[in-house]
Each structure stands twice: as C-alpha cells, then as structure tokens.
Amino acid sequence: MKPSDFIHPEDAAALRQMEGIPGFAALVKKILAIGIENMQYGMNMASSIRLSEKQLPKIYRHLPPICEKLGIAEPEFYLQMSPVPNAWTSGDTRIYITVTSSLVEMMNEEELDAIIAHECGHILCRHVLYHTVAQWISNGLANFGVLGALATPIEYALCYWSRKSELSADRAGAIVTSPEVVASTMARLAGGPQSLTAQINMEEWASQADEYDKIQNSGLWNKTLQLAIIAGLDHPFSAVRVREILKWGASDQYHIIKNGGPMQVLSGPSCPACGTSVAPGWGFCRNCGHKL
C-alpha cells in the first residue's frame, strides 16, 4: 500500500503549500534539535502501559494485522487511563500509538480496528512528524522564542494541513474495515456510547455538512466568522468527516483498493505537476493533489 493509492487530494495539496512556507523546514529541524521528541517519548513511556503479547494481549492483537495489511512496520502501542476517548500517534525516529481506556471501552472490536488503522494511516502517509510539530507549537512553543513572528502563520498552516490529513487517515481506517465502520466511530465520539448512537442515520448526519457549507458560503462575513472558528482546530468537524468517508466509499478508487490492491491507471494523460498518470474524471491528482 502506498499513500498515493488513497491520500485525500486536499491533504496532498495542503502539505505541498505548507512545505513551501519560508522558514518551515528550518523550524522543523530546530524543534527536533532541542530534543522534544525524546522528552515526549519519555513522558509517554513513564506514564502509559506498553501493550504486547505479554501485556494486555487482547488489546494489543488488534495492531499487528492492521500493520501487515497497510504494509508498515509495527509501532509501539500504549494504553493510557483517561475519561476522554482519544487516540494519537507521536514520534519521528520512534513512532508510537496511544489509545485511552475510555476509547477502548466505548468502541466495539471493528470500531477499535478502524481507529487503530486511522493512526496507522498517519504513519503510512508520513504525517506524524508534522503532527508532532503542530502539537508543540499549539502548546506554546512560540512563547519560548523559538518561532518569533513566524508563529501564527505557521501554526495556522499546520492546523489547516492537519485537518486535511485526518481525511486521508480516515480512508486508511475504511480500507481496513469499511466506510460505515469509520462513520460509526465518528458517531461514538460525537454522540456517545452505542446505546445512544447505534441507530444514527449516517446519510442524514452527513447532510449536516452540506448545511454547514451553505452557512459558510452565504456571504463574506459568515465565511470570515467560520474561518476564525476553525483556524486553530487540528481536526475537521465530525459531520464533514462522515460525509467525506461515505462519499469515498462509493468511489471507484475505494472499490478497486478493496477488491485487489492499489489503483491501476491506464496509460494516457498525466499530472502536469508530478507526471503521474491520471484517469478521466479525476478532479485532483491522487499522487500530489494538483488540481486537474
């Protein structure tokens, strides 16, 4: 499996724009140089439980088959006690996934697979380094003088890309499970336990994203207000994610991957930005995200 097989075009485009910001590469190197990765890894090691065949194997055994299916090396896997259902992936040279106790308790087996596959999708798409940088910037790294005047534009660019990267990771979750299971994990996180959310009409919920778009696009002032709300968010709204994953689940791209492997594109037109072959009807290059 390659990231170009499934990456969301808005993720690829946002990443390309972010990496073009002057000073961005230097910022990433500086953050790594001051030892933040080792500090974060040490904190997680000391405060969480590392899962394995010898340590809570029932939870651990979700991970290896997902890594095998997506074709990635197995990261370290941790459980953290928290009343907040959550999962995240951190690190660059030592990558690890952490899930919280309330997340494990809330999700059924398939939903937990979808969430772990989502985190593995971040690894496969090489999102983890920039997510780590975004986290430390949002936690106030600029207050220590590391960024100076660059702090705000780089933080907003990272948050914008991070929101788009979640759409690609959701696709990885759907490859391992299904778009419907990914949508049901969103229902749990947005609405509560299965006893309350099992009967949610997903199409109706996805239509709320269309209503949100109408509000956002109903004039310059409304667009400005909505941009102010989301500028510092690193995840898209749940209804938007449900709409995107259900739409992708109905696509030829998804069915080709599920029925036998990566996209196979016949010879013909190519992307003017990266040269990858493209198929008729594609709005974006699925390798680099360039608008066609």
119 is catalytic: yes
Nearest to 114 by CA among 186, 55, 164: 186
What are 169's two structure tokens?
């990771």
Q: How far is CA 41 from CA 21, 44, 48, 77, 167, in A?
A: 28, 5, 11, 12, 26
> How far is it, in rounded angstroms, from Cα 244 to Cα 173?
13
Pairing of the two strands 76-80 and 87-90: unpaired
Query: How many other C-beta atoms lie within 10 A of the C-beta of residue 56?
Result: 15
- Give the Cβ contact number of residue 63 at 10 Å: 22
Alpha helices in the chain (DSSP H): 9-19, 24-33, 36-47, 57-60, 63-70, 101-106, 109-124, 128-138, 151-176, 179-191, 194-197, 202-216, 220-230, 238-249, 252-258
CA distance 14 to 20: 10
Of the candidates 76, 119, 155, 244, the residue annotated as catalytic is 119
| Residues taking part in catalysis | 119
